């Protein structure tokens, strides 16, 4: 069984840079100049972790089904993409 993650975008914090939508267009899209997830509940996919770490505003958060934050990954340090 595949793992599911929850994606959230803080639209107040989002700068509208479009990095997320350009990097993972299947998961993020710009709406009114700010990002939102295409779907909140996704199958586990490392690209969303990379995008959350890349976001200049740290507006994207990814949690696993148990509610643990997977990204941005502030405990371990920057992820190398
Ligand atoms: S990368 Fe971050 S700041 Fe840029 S559009 Fe996406 S959520 Fe907004």
Using alpha carbons only, give the angle 60, 70, 81 rounded to the nearest 5 degrees: 75
CB 13 near ligand 1, within 6 Å: no
Supply the pLDDT for residue 73.
82
**Strand partners for 29:** 36
Considering only CA atoms, which residue is closest to atom 6 of ligand 1?
20
Q: Give residue-wise pLDDT tens across range 17-37.
A: 999 999 999 999 999 999 999
- How far apart are alpha carbons 30 and 44 in whole angstroms? 22
What is the CATH T-level fold of the domain 4-71, as seen in this structure? Alpha-Beta Plaits (3.30.70)
CA of 15 to the centre of ligand 1 (A): 6
Residue 57: exposure state from Cβ atoms within 10 A (0-12, 13-18, ≥19): middle
Q: What is the mean pLDDT of residues 43-63?
A: 97
- Which ligand 1 atom sits closest to the C-alpha of 15? 3
């Amino acid at each position: 069984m595949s793992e599911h993650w929850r994606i959230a975008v803080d639209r107040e914090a989002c700068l509208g840079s479009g990095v997320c939508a350009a990097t993972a267009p299947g998961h993020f899209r710009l709406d009114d100049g700010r990002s939102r997830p295409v779907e909140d509940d996704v199958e586990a996919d490392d690209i969303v972790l990379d995008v959350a770490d890349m976001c200049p505003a740290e507006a994207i958060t990814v949690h696993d089904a148990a509610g643990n934050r997977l990204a941005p990954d502030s405990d371990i340090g920057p992820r190398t993409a």
